[in-house]
Amino acid sequence: MRFHLHRRPITETILLSESLTSEDCGALWVLQKAKGRVDILEAAVERWPSNRGLRIALASLLQKKRKYALAAAHWRHMVTLSPAIAEGNDSDQKTMALLMLGDCLYQSGDRSGAAAEWSKAREAGDSPLAMAAERRLRKVREYSRL
Protein backbone atom coordinates (compact mmCIF):
# COMPACT_ATOMS: atom_id res chain seq x y z
CA MET A 1 0.00 0.00 0.00
CA ARG A 2 1.39 3.39 -0.98
CA PHE A 3 0.68 6.42 1.14
CA HIS A 4 -0.22 9.75 -0.36
CA LEU A 5 0.13 13.10 1.32
CA HIS A 6 -3.51 14.16 1.08
CA ARG A 7 -5.94 13.45 3.91
CA ARG A 8 -3.30 11.79 6.14
CA PRO A 9 -2.52 12.56 9.77
CA ILE A 10 0.42 14.88 10.26
CA THR A 11 2.74 12.08 11.42
CA GLU A 12 2.24 10.21 8.16
CA THR A 13 2.82 13.41 6.18
CA ILE A 14 6.05 14.03 8.08
CA LEU A 15 7.12 10.42 7.51
CA LEU A 16 6.81 10.84 3.77
CA SER A 17 8.75 14.11 3.70
CA GLU A 18 11.89 14.02 1.58
CA SER A 19 13.84 16.01 4.17
CA LEU A 20 13.27 13.68 7.13
CA THR A 21 16.40 13.22 9.23
CA SER A 22 17.40 10.16 11.23
CA GLU A 23 16.49 12.00 14.41
CA ASP A 24 13.02 12.77 13.03
CA CYS A 25 12.59 9.10 12.16
CA GLY A 26 13.64 8.08 15.65
CA ALA A 27 11.00 10.26 17.25
CA LEU A 28 8.36 9.29 14.75
CA TRP A 29 8.83 5.54 15.04
CA VAL A 30 8.01 5.69 18.73
CA LEU A 31 4.67 7.31 17.90
CA GLN A 32 3.94 4.85 15.13
CA LYS A 33 4.96 1.87 17.25
CA ALA A 34 2.58 2.95 19.98
CA LYS A 35 -0.21 3.00 17.44
CA GLY A 36 0.72 -0.45 16.17
CA ARG A 37 0.93 0.67 12.54
CA VAL A 38 3.07 -1.97 10.82
CA ASP A 39 2.12 -0.62 7.39
CA ILE A 40 3.56 2.82 8.12
CA LEU A 41 6.79 1.36 9.49
CA GLU A 42 7.14 -1.00 6.51
CA ALA A 43 6.72 1.93 4.12
CA ALA A 44 9.32 3.91 6.05
CA VAL A 45 11.83 1.03 6.12
CA GLU A 46 11.32 0.55 2.41
CA ARG A 47 12.01 4.23 1.82
CA TRP A 48 14.95 4.49 4.27
CA PRO A 49 16.32 0.91 4.50
CA SER A 50 19.47 1.87 6.40
CA ASN A 51 17.67 3.71 9.21
CA ARG A 52 18.29 1.63 12.31
CA GLY A 53 15.62 3.30 14.44
CA LEU A 54 12.86 2.52 11.98
CA ARG A 55 14.04 -1.05 11.53
CA ILE A 56 14.21 -1.61 15.31
CA ALA A 57 10.69 -0.22 15.67
CA LEU A 58 9.36 -2.46 12.90
CA ALA A 59 11.10 -5.57 14.22
CA SER A 60 9.86 -4.86 17.75
CA LEU A 61 6.30 -4.33 16.60
CA LEU A 62 6.31 -7.48 14.46
CA GLN A 63 7.68 -9.41 17.43
CA LYS A 64 4.95 -8.00 19.67
CA LYS A 65 2.36 -9.10 17.10
CA ARG A 66 3.91 -12.60 17.12
CA LYS A 67 5.10 -12.42 13.52
CA TYR A 68 8.39 -13.96 14.55
CA ALA A 69 9.74 -14.95 11.14
CA LEU A 70 9.28 -11.42 9.78
CA ALA A 71 10.72 -9.87 12.93
CA ALA A 72 13.72 -12.23 12.78
CA ALA A 73 14.49 -11.07 9.25
CA HIS A 74 14.66 -7.45 10.43
CA TRP A 75 16.76 -8.29 13.51
CA ARG A 76 19.13 -10.28 11.30
CA HIS A 77 19.36 -7.33 8.95
CA MET A 78 20.19 -5.09 11.94
CA VAL A 79 23.26 -7.22 12.68
CA THR A 80 24.59 -6.65 9.16
CA LEU A 81 23.06 -3.23 8.47
CA SER A 82 26.07 -1.08 9.20
CA PRO A 83 29.78 -1.67 9.60
CA ALA A 84 29.55 -0.40 13.19
CA ILE A 85 27.15 -3.18 14.13
CA ALA A 86 28.65 -5.85 11.89
CA GLU A 87 32.17 -5.20 13.20
CA GLY A 88 31.03 -4.88 16.79
CA ASN A 89 31.78 -1.16 17.20
CA ASP A 90 28.24 -0.53 18.41
CA SER A 91 28.15 -3.44 20.80
CA ASP A 92 24.92 -2.57 22.65
CA GLN A 93 22.87 -2.43 19.45
CA LYS A 94 24.53 -5.55 18.12
CA THR A 95 23.90 -7.42 21.37
CA MET A 96 20.28 -6.27 21.45
CA ALA A 97 19.73 -7.31 17.84
CA LEU A 98 21.29 -10.73 18.47
CA LEU A 99 19.23 -11.21 21.63
CA MET A 100 15.97 -10.30 19.89
CA LEU A 101 16.89 -12.39 16.85
CA GLY A 102 17.42 -15.36 19.15
CA ASP A 103 14.05 -14.72 20.82
CA CYS A 104 12.27 -14.68 17.46
CA LEU A 105 14.00 -17.86 16.30
CA TYR A 106 13.11 -19.57 19.58
CA GLN A 107 9.46 -18.56 19.25
CA SER A 108 9.49 -19.81 15.65
CA GLY A 109 10.70 -23.23 16.83
CA ASP A 110 14.35 -22.92 15.76
CA ARG A 111 15.93 -23.74 19.14
CA SER A 112 19.45 -24.35 17.81
CA GLY A 113 19.39 -21.13 15.78
CA ALA A 114 18.23 -19.22 18.85
CA ALA A 115 20.99 -20.73 20.98
CA ALA A 116 23.59 -19.75 18.36
CA GLU A 117 22.44 -16.11 18.32
CA TRP A 118 22.22 -15.95 22.13
CA SER A 119 25.75 -17.34 22.33
CA LYS A 120 26.96 -14.50 20.11
CA ALA A 121 25.10 -11.99 22.29
CA ARG A 122 26.65 -13.48 25.41
CA GLU A 123 30.12 -12.60 24.09
CA ALA A 124 29.40 -8.92 24.86
CA GLY A 125 30.87 -9.37 28.35
CA ASP A 126 29.12 -8.21 31.49
CA SER A 127 26.45 -6.03 29.93
CA PRO A 128 22.85 -6.56 31.07
CA LEU A 129 21.98 -7.76 27.55
CA ALA A 130 24.78 -10.34 27.61
CA MET A 131 23.56 -11.57 30.99
CA ALA A 132 20.03 -11.85 29.58
CA ALA A 133 21.42 -13.99 26.76
CA GLU A 134 23.16 -16.21 29.32
CA ARG A 135 19.88 -16.68 31.23
CA ARG A 136 18.09 -17.68 28.03
CA LEU A 137 20.82 -20.18 27.17
CA ARG A 138 20.59 -21.74 30.64
CA LYS A 139 16.81 -22.14 30.32
CA VAL A 140 17.15 -23.78 26.92
CA ARG A 141 19.73 -26.20 28.30
CA GLU A 142 17.50 -27.03 31.29
CA TYR A 143 14.49 -27.69 29.06
CA SER A 144 16.49 -29.83 26.66
CA ARG A 145 17.49 -32.11 29.57
CA LEU A 146 13.85 -32.83 30.47
What integer is the mean pLDDT of 109-126? 89
pLDDT of res. 99: 93
What integer is the mean pLDDT of 20-49? 69
What integer is the mean pLDDT of 82-96? 65
What integer is the mean pLDDT of 85-91? 57
How far is it, in rounded angstroms, from Cα 86 to Cα 62? Answer: 23
Q: What is the dihedral of CA 103, 98, 61, 81, to 10 degrees?
A: -150
Query: Domain residue spans in the chain?
Result: 1-65, 68-146
For residue 98, pLDDT over 80 is answered with yes
For residue 126, pLDDT over 90 is answered with no
pLDDT of res. 146: 53
What integer is the mean pLDDT of 92-103? 90
What pTM did the predictor assign? Answer: 0.73
Instruction: Return the axis-axis angle of helices 68-81 and 52-64, rounded to nearest 10°.
Output: 160
pLDDT of res. 26: 61
